[in-house]
Amino acid sequence: MGAHMTEHGQEAADKRKTYYVALGAGQILEDREAAPFEYEIRANEEELNKLQELFEELASADEATASHMMSAILVSASDEDMNADYDHQFQKVYQLIYELGTEKTKRHIESIGVVH
């Protein structure tokens, strides 16, 4: 069974395609001309789905932070807690982009110091 999993894992890695990530817009593009992008990655379908899920979680954390700031009534979490959640989600997105990134993408993310 272990050999089969390795074989399948290699097969999935071979099916990687190039995608372009517009982090600010939370978009993953197949066409580099479609919109401005910051990062180029190589991902298979599973990795692409994982990144899309992280973008959705980041958007939810951002919405939660925004709605929390709009309503000071019945606050269940502090601003610091909300910001920490958003920062954590943001860090997870950068980590995955780094892992999937081309050499240029990795160098840029290292240069801005968001991945340890």
For residues 31 and 21, the answer to whether their CB atoms sit within 8 Å is: no
User: Angle at CA 68, nearest 5°, toward 85 and 60?
Assistant: 50
Q: Read off the pTM.
A: 0.73
Mean pLDDT of all residues in 32-60: 94
How many residues appear in the chain? 116
Question: What integer pLDDT is reported at residue 66 of this predicted model?
Answer: 66
Alpha-carbon distance of 94 to 64, in angstroms, equals: 20
Question: What integer pLDDT is reported at residue 11 of this predicted model?
Answer: 60
3-state DSSP of 63-107 = HHHHHHHHCCCCCCCCHHHHHHHHHHHHHHHHHHHHHHECHHHHH
Question: What integer pLDDT is reported at residue 28 of this predicted model?
Answer: 95
Residue range 50-109, pLDDT digits in tens: 999 999 998 887 777 666 555 554 455 556 666 778 888 889 999 999 999 999 999 999
